[in-house]
Chains A and B, each alone.
Chain A
Amino acid sequence: MKKSIMVALFFCLFLGCSVAKSQEVIVIANKSVKSSGVSASDLKDVYSGDKTSLSDGSHVVPATLKGGPVHEAFLKKYVGKGDAAFRAGWRSLVFAGSASMPKTFDSESALIEYVAATPGAIGYVGKDPGDTVRKLAVK
């Protein structure tokens, strides 16, 4: 009985820690982006440099954070890579002349400001961005 309680407590703690570590990620876009949603596949392709437009034809320009838990959570959830692999993939394109590096920001507020001001820009934040940008639902 004691053993079962210990095991149950252990799993509760483990799950609790996992939940606590889970970081919310909100995908945002400039209001020129017509769609209110984006497919996970399109999001991955845009942030991997494979596409510059969404399936609805909207031309998009990705922006990223420099680092941090929101950046890591976004990459893990939607790109399927860690930061080092993500940057290496883009550098391969940049040094081949095939693409330009996404704009990178030190803070979420700077990223929000850029997305709000740049037609076609998309990005991601960890908290409510306010009403200067459109929130995109990821399908």
Chain B
Amino acid sequence: MRRRILLLLFVFGLASPLFGQDMSNIQIHGFATQALLYSGSNNYLGMYTSQGSTGWTEAAINIVDQPSDNLRIGIQLHYIRLGIFGGDEPSIDWAMGDYRVKRWLGIRAGKVKIRWGLYNDTQDADPGYMWALLPESIYSIDDRATTLSQLGGELYGDLPLSKRWGSIVYSLYFGDYYYSSSDGLTEGFKEAGINFANTPGGKTPGVDLRWKTPLKGLLVGASTQRVDARGTLTNGTFRIAPYYSTTGYAQYDAHKFFLAYQYARTIAHQDVEITGQPPALSVSDARTWFVMAGYHLTDKLEVGAYYSSELDAAPHDNSDPANFGHDWTISSRYDFNSYLYGKLEGHFINGNVSGFYDFDNPNGLKPRTNLLVAKVGFVF
């Protein structure tokens, strides 16, 4: 993998002079973040947070060339270490060509970020938002390596309606996706006794439609994504029957204030066939939502709060903390200058449905977790 990335960068670097490319249109941007997490009880997100953990480090670098007004070509490498997840090697976050034919039609192809809901395509761009952690109910940081992007193509555009009706922004995509071999999704399966010989993958067509309403700053939208996965286990086969992950959302962002809401529901049927055993069929019915708000107290200081809820309704037991998660969060971000910022955030979590693992909670889980996250970020 490392050799492929280096080869790609080398070829990209060679390509420009070969075609007599003007280097003045090449942009390079990057960021690096380091977090400190402390939880009063339970260890969270694959880290020993109850002892204080600096196990969350991220960095990214992208190189983009814009040979003409309509064409952009670029690549972004991303590194994440989140406790036991991530790893020592960077991965390709996206690598694509982007040709904008008209305002209402653009084409992207390559490894392309998936536009689903408010923040799927931007969730790993830490400098772009206030929160240290996005709502785990919908944007699980320990699962996102699997859900961020797809290998394929996207049609996108902005269709103006009229001054009275605003415009519709759309994204239609189709491609392949694969489970990450080093994120929380795979760890969760491993803890359930499901060990992959080859990480599952499948096709993922999807659509996102968002209405930029005539009220400046108000956006309303919905996305749906068809997901299926097939893989091989060390001792059998694995399949998730095709399902639709659907979400609706709204956001108001004006001047110093923003308010956002998102709801998602995903019903998945999982079929695990282990050699010599009857098929194990299971169903999950994840109902998740959050509401959040933020305000710039000054140009440099932003504060906010969110409430996030997650329920797996399939077991029909809403009282078991293993089936739900409620997270009250207060947050702040301070931009010291254009290149350096800090985030400080507190989470008050009730329930254990997401983000908790057996390997670092061997004595079981308490129902409530209070978590403090402090993060520093450098960006250029």
Q: Check: A138 CB closer than 8 A to any chain B CB.
A: no
Chain B 337-378: CB-based contact to A (< 8 A → 1; otherwise 0): 010010000000000000000000000000000000000000
Number of interface residues of B (CB under 8 A): 42
| Residue among A80, A96, A101 having the largest count of chain B Cβ atoms under 10 Å | A96
B103 touches A92 (CB 8 A): no
Residue in contact with B94 in the complex, picked from A80, A91, A97, A100, CB distance below 8 Å: A97
A81 partner residues in chain B, CB cutoff 8 A: 255-256, 296
A91 touches B127 (CB 8 A): yes
Q: Check: A89 CB closer than 8 A to any chain B CB.
A: yes
Looking across the interface, which residue of chain B has its beta carbon closest to that of A82?
A: B299
A100 touches B338 (CB 8 A): no
10 further A-B contacts with Cβ under 8 Å, apart from A52-B100, A59-B69, A97-B74, are A83-B299, A84-B300, A91-B31, A92-B122, A92-B125, A94-B29, A95-B128, A96-B113, A97-B76, A97-B93
A87 touches B338 (CB 8 A): yes
Looking across the interface, which residue of chain A has its beta carbon closest to that of B66?
A: A100
B106 to chain A, nearest CB (A): 10
Number of interface residues of A (CB under 8 A): 30
Residue in contact with B113 in the complex, picked from A52, A59, A80, A97, CB distance below 8 Å: A97
Q: Check: B302 CB closer than 8 A to any chain A CB.
A: yes
User: In the assembly, what is the distance between CA of A87 and CA of B335, in Å?
Assistant: 10
Residues of A within 8 A of B (CB): 41, 44, 50-53, 59, 61, 66-67, 80-85, 87-89, 91-98, 100-101, 120
A95 touches B29 (CB 8 A): yes
Indicate whether A101 sits within 8 Å of B69 (C-beta atoms), given known contacts A51-B158, A87-B338, A91-B125.
no
Indicate whether A96 sits within 8 Å of B296 (C-beta atoms), given known contacts A51-B103, A51-B158, A101-B29.
no
Question: 24 A–B contact pairs at CB < 8 A?
Answer: A51-B158, A61-B69, A82-B256, A82-B299, A82-B300, A83-B299, A84-B296, A88-B127, A91-B31, A94-B27, A94-B62, A94-B64, A94-B125, A95-B62, A95-B124, A95-B127, A96-B94, A97-B62, A97-B64, A97-B108, A97-B112, A97-B113, A100-B64, A100-B72
B60 touches A95 (CB 8 A): yes
User: In the assembly, what is the distance between CA of A94 and CA of B66, in Å?
Assistant: 13
